[in-house]
Amino acid sequence: MKILLIPGDGIGSELAAEVHKLISAVQSLFELTISTQTLDISESHFRDTNILIPKAFNKMAGEADAIWLGPITNQSNMKEYIRKNIIREICSMQGFEFYYRHFKPLPSLQKVQTDNPIDVLLIENNFYSHTVSSELPASFIGEGKMNFLTTYYSQTHLESLFSKAQELLEKGNRNKLHLVLPDELRQSDSPWVKPASILADRGINVQWSSVDQFYYTLLRAPDQFDLVLTVPPFGKIYSKLVSSMEGGLGTGYEFHQTVGKKILLHVTHPTSRRFVGRDAGNPIGSMLSFSEFMNAHNNSSIYNAIRNAIDAAINAGWVTRDLGGSMGTIEMGDYICSKLSENMAKS
């Protein structure tokens, strides 16, 4: 297996170092061969070269099974250097289609107690432009309403998204799909109804709710949600809300995938310039994203082992300084790797 590491901006290099440390531990413990390459796609690189994506990217990404992308700044003074443009460009060049955000609630940190993993499967405006015809996306509702909230894609593309949702539900511990849509997209003539009905006929528990109902229920009883499929901008609002419920920075990640199973992992951690060089950034989401790569390559035992090691670290009170704790990035990474080794020795 081969992984292309793109540290990005801010504390990205420090997070990438902890991922590399985890990769080394996994190789040693599980007798795997995982090679890595590193590519600079950063604000400083763009400032020096005026090139957003280096020419070497396509070749290096084409040879890799996965791309690990660190945090990209949203605070650049250069208008051309924009996080969403970089991710969109990478996804378009490599043919990434599906996109979801995963959050692993951490009971010792969060404000709302839940042990249930919550995912959100998003549809981004124009995000999948390489997979749908040029006249799409189309507006489903009239011009007199806020049609930018209800962008949708071809029926075939929606069905592919529902197919991905089914795969996620059948692969993990989730048992229900929750559709959070504006009222107009929950009507009988909505293009969302047919693929949802197909999943329901296959035994998937499909639930519907309005946006307002969803947010109210999420705050009161988050455990009832497994996988949420929604549209922008609700997905972004939801992502921020769940992230704040977890009570920390850098505990989640984005997961993009092509039909051919190539993977892009993007850490949802702010660049946190004030923490650069201070050994203070939280590496949890970065290391969890690597476990997702293992899971996608049918290494569920490694996936579970990494998650258990991270849970052990959190339960032991090992928290980095950007979360208000006393641990450093390196120390946190060392502890997680040592717990991984200790757990494997016991098993």
Domains defined for the chain, CATH in brackets: 1-101+253-347 (3.40.718.10), 110-246 (3.40.50)
Chain segment 113-138, per-residue pLDDT in tens: 444 455 555 444 333 332 322 232 33
Return the pLDDT at 149: 32
Chain-wide mean pLDDT for the chain?
Answer: 76
The C-alpha atoms of residue 35 and residue 104 are separated, in whole angstroms, by 27
Return the pLDDT at 123: 42
Task: Give me the sign of the Cα torsion angle 29, 30, 32, 36.
Answer: negative
Return the pLDDT at 129: 31
SS3 state of residue 305: helix
The Cα angle at residue 278 between residues 274 and 283, in degrees rounded to 5:
90
3-state secondary structure 101-119: EEECCCCCCCCCCCCCCEE
**How confident is the model over 314-343, as a mean pLDDT?**
84
Phi, psi (5° rounding) for residue 56? -70, -15
Task: Give me the sign of the Cα torsion angle 265, 268, 272, 275.
Answer: negative
What share of residues in the chain are helix, strand, coil (percent, to 5)? 45, 15, 40
Structure tokens at 112: 């709302």
From 120-134, 137-151, 157-171, the region with the lowest mean pLDDT: 137-151
Return the pLDDT at 264: 83
Q: Angle formed by the axes of helices 284-296 and 12-30, to 10°?
A: 40
The C-alpha atoms of residue 104 and residue 39 are separated, in whole angstroms, by 28
User: Looking at the predicted structure, is the pLDDT value of residue 7 above 90?
Assistant: yes
Residues 94/258, Cβ–Cβ less than 8 Å:
yes
Return the pLDDT at 321: 77
The C-alpha atoms of residue 64 and residue 264 are separated, in whole angstroms, by 10
- Look at the pTM and tell me if it is higher than 0.85: no
**Confidence at 236, pLDDT banded by 50, 70, 90:** low
CA Rg value for the chain: 20
Return the pLDDT at 4: 95
Which of 259, 235, 67, 88 lies closest to 163, judged by CA? 259
Return the pLDDT at 232: 65
Q: How far is CA 92 from the centre of its chain?
A: 17
From 48-52, 81-85, 292-296, the region with the lowest mean pLDDT: 81-85
The phi-psi region of residue 126 (left if phi > 0; otherwise alpha if psi is between -120 and 50; otherwise beta) is left
Chain segment 273-319, per-residue pLDDT in tens: 777 888 888 898 899 889 888 988 888 889 889 988 887 887 777 77
**How confident is the model over 160-170, as a mean pLDDT?**
78
**How confident is the model over 255-260, as a mean pLDDT?**
72
> What's the half-sphere exposure (Cβ side, CA atoms, 13 Å) at 316?
13
Structure tokens at 203: 């035994």
User: In the chain, which ranges are E strands?
Assistant: 2-6, 35-38, 66-69, 98-103, 118-122, 138-139, 151-152, 176-180, 205-209, 227-230, 252-257, 263-267
Residues 275/332, Cβ–Cβ less than 8 Å:
no
Return the pLDDT at 330: 95
Chain segment 179-230, per-residue pLDDT in tens: 988 877 888 888 888 889 988 998 889 999 888 888 778 767 766 777 888 7
The DSSP output letter for 327 is B
The C-alpha atoms of residue 311 and residue 318 are separated, in whole angstroms, by 10
The DSSP output letter for 126 is T
Return the pLDDT at 120: 55
Return the pLDDT at 114: 43
Most confident of the following: 87-101, 131-145, 193-207, 314-328: 193-207
